[in-house]
Structure 1
Amino acid sequence: MGHSLCAPSAGRWPRSYNKGEDSLFFETFNRNKRSLSLDLGTPGGRKVFEDLVRTSDAVYSNLRGDVPAKIKITYDDLKHLNPAIVCCSLTGFGMTGPRAKQPGYDYILQGLAGWMDLTGDPDGPPTKSGLSLVDFCGGYVAALSLMAGLHAARRDGVGGDCDVSLYDTAISMLTYPAAWHLNAGYRPGRTKNSAHPSLVPFQAFEASDGWFVVGCAKEKFWVRLAEAIGLTELLDDPRFTDFAARGQHKDELLPLLEKRFAEATVDHWVSLLTKAGVPTGPINDVEQALTEEHTLARGLIATTEHEVWGEVRQVTSPVRFGNEPAEYRRAPRRNENFDEVMELLGYSAEDVSGLVEAGAFGSIAQATP
């Protein structure tokens, strides 16, 4: 079984919840990994890197689009060492195109790709998602591309490049609004209370003590909703007989629903509608989401031990395979696995000493061996 080489981002140094290089941000994204520091700008560092490539399955990087070629970590640069190596580069804008040399950040990508224009209240400004969704989705796209590349390499014995970008990810996720626009000239607009653009009712509603979502994606859910909340007369109203009619008369229907939902609590309505078989759920804050019964039942909170932070609790990966429970290990300290990797490569003590003196591992390695 081979290994993957990863060029990490600067997550060790965020401004929030950090103690030196130990940060909760870095812990979040680097659990179960191992660390070796290399300076690829030195001949020794390059030698160690190339020795690792010979025994690895993949090289993964998260850099600016023009950097992988500059530091020679593309497939053409490495195939002579390992013809089956898969080189996955997740960049801001990809390794081709007019923006290839530009740095790409989630916030900027949400603006460029039209996401912010789609998000927010109709009377408010363009709005960014509360989470870095382009970054996160880009990571998943990179992982999927890498898996496809590894499958092809094991089948054919030949690797290649995965040129993955945050820009490509963000544009591709425009999905059906893009298809509607490209084929029918559709121009999406923001909707009040996060309403679905075509299904009514399917949106957030305010109860007496908070907000919740009702989603009538099928006609049967509309029938169940009207019956559950005691507004069965709406079922016989010709203005609300089907999706098309409700969409046309939504300004007449929604105030009726809003008035009824304001009469009781979120828990009341969610419990009532869940029993009636209507898709619904509360709009939780982060604390509520993390303590949801289903969150805990699905094992979505992991705990690791850390020398600086003590017990670290964090959310787990949603990727699953098989029935064996996952094991979690804290993120590595910088260069923590130096000795392990040196042994893996079969380097002698003299080899290691010479490489350290030549600066192959950067200054951090001087005190490690």
Structure 2
Amino acid sequence: MKPLEDVRIISLEQYGAGPFGSLHLADLGADVIKIEDPNVGGDVGRYVPPFNEGEDSLFFETFNRNKRSLSLDLSTPAGRSVFEDLVKSSDAVYSNLRGDVPAKIGITYDDLKHLNPAIVCCSLTGFGMTGPRAKEPGYDYILQGLAGWMSVTGDPDGPPTKSGLSLVDYSGGFVAAISLLSGLHAARRDGVGGDCDVSLYDTAMSLLTYPATWHLNAGFEPVRTKNSAHPSLVPFQAFEATDGWLIVGCAKEKFWERLVVAIGRPDLGADPRFASFSLRGQNKDVLLPMLEDVFATDTVAHWLSLLGPAGVPSGPINDVAHALTEPHTLARNLIVETEHPVYDTVRQLASPVNFGPQRPEYRRAPQRGENLEEIVADLGYDEETIASLRRSGAFGEVTAEAHA
């Protein structure tokens, strides 16, 4: 069996953060039933440009493979009844909505425990379900600013800068997945579920890690550094070569000792001004220009051919195209394929989450409502019940055909 093959998750998810978190659970075998609101055309991620056609987008494919879709209107009594039947036979209800919405639409543990005492209700929200910002929508860009990330990102002479990727969203998805799995473990052990109140804000703040500890305890003031330099380890940063950039990192004294020999500058290793982490930090304005001058004399490939064999942590600064064709990317089977009726073959990145030798199987993201028949069959509904639910608007707009 796949690691999570015996787990069923009802997911009221949208866009990036929530679907990213459940993606890894689906890849591990969990049955993720994606509830999509027919009143708004389902998950807004279906319509993200520039690579979109109708209700299909490559953005949506990225976050929703291996899931099933049920178009369900929870605002109708009929839709709510289907949802509650799903809760009875599921392990978790997962969502990424505004902080006040889970309680409003009745998907918290207190709302659902009478149906299933062991249900785990994991809510990934922008700011959490408590606090002064609970009712505010939370987006990655805003959170990177609020949590101080942008103040320490970018060139010292440039404006505050966000990460090139939506790392608050993606990290929040991972945190939600860990929280949900923790809740499932406790529920299966104790027979009692509960709420996971997870937020993007909490995630972003927690990722301030040691600079926050330094500030809280020693008054450290983080600043943006030239060439993405580490705040305390010198040298550990980007250096420009004649044809591009590379990263060189001396996180241990032995790496510094190896570096100066590899680049033909043993005199720097013998210089008392650079004899320790502390001294190199104090004299970085002297040392770093010297190193920059050295690296500016040859190509990235030349320096890596010297640093790698010498055991100095280093690597090229790839663009996305090079990263996707990096030999290690291919060796780790990180590019996976799914067949798709609109895009033919969709190539995307595998989940980094793994357990055991079994490789995940990959199925394209579902069309909206594609899995209705099989999901309601699992609930034991007969044809008459399904027809009645259709007429009642459980699955979306009631058509003349549905009334027939």
Give me the TM-score of the superposition, normalised by structure 2: 0.90
Question: Which residue is equivalent to 2:32?
Answer: none
1:84 is matched with which residue?
118
Corresponding residue SS for 1:304: strand
- 1:146 is matched with 180
- CA shift, 1:93, in A, is 0.5
Equivalent in the alignment of 2:93? 59
The one of 245, 258, 261 equivalent to 1:227 is 261
Q: Identity rate of aligned residues, in percent?
A: 72
Instruction: Say if 1:13 and 1:23, in contact at 8 Å, map to a contact too.
Output: yes
Equivalent position of 2:193 in the other structure: 159
Q: Structure 1 stretches of 5 or more lacking a match?
A: none
Choose from 8, 11, 14 the match for 1:6. 11
Counterpart selection for 2:168 from 120, 129, 134: 134
Which residue pairs with 1:351 in the alignment?
A: 385
How many angstroms does 1:235 deviate by?
Answer: 1.3
1:300-341 deviation digits (Å, cap 9, x = unpaired): 111000000111000111100010111100000000101100
State the distance in 2 between where 1:344 and 1:141 align: 30
Count of matched residue pairs: 368
Separation in 2 of the partners of 1:165 and 1:301?
30
Give the secondary-structure state (helix, strand or coil) at the position aligned to 1:11: helix
Q: 1:75 aligns with which of 109, 129, 137?
A: 109
Distance 1:283 1:367 in 2: 58
TM-superposed CA distance for 1:363, in Å, is 2.7
Which residue type is aligned with residue 207 of structure 2? M
* Residue 362 of structure 1: how far off its partner (Å): 1.0
Question: Residue 23 of structure 2 aligns with which residue?
Answer: none
Residue of structure 2 aligned with 1:119, choices 142, 153, 164: 153
Q: Tell me whether 1:195 sits opposite 2:200 in the alignment.
A: no
Q: 1:298 aligns with which of 316, 332, 335?
A: 332
- Structure 2 residue runs without a partner (length 5+): 1-5, 15-43
Partners of 2:47 and 2:232 in 1: CA distance:
44
For 2:277 and 2:400, the matched residues in 1 are separated by 68
Q: Summarize the alignment of residues 258-273 of structure 1 with structure 2, pairs less than 5 Å apart.
A: 258-273=292-307
Aligned AA (1:219) = E
Instruction: Tell me by how many angstroms 1:23 deviates.
Output: 0.3
What is the distance in 1 between the residues matched to 2:347 and 2:372? 26
In structure 2, the CA distance between the partners of 1:64 and 1:58, relative to structure 1 (3 Å rule), is same
Cα root mean square deviation, aligned: 1.3
Within the alignment, does 1:183 sit opposite 2:199 as a pair? no
TM normalised by structure 1 equals 0.98
1:216 is aligned to 250
Alpha-carbon distance in 1 for matches of 2:206, 2:160: 20
Q: Which moved more, 1:129-138 or 1:257-266?
A: 257-266
Q: Amino acid of the residue matched to residue 146 of structure 1? A: L
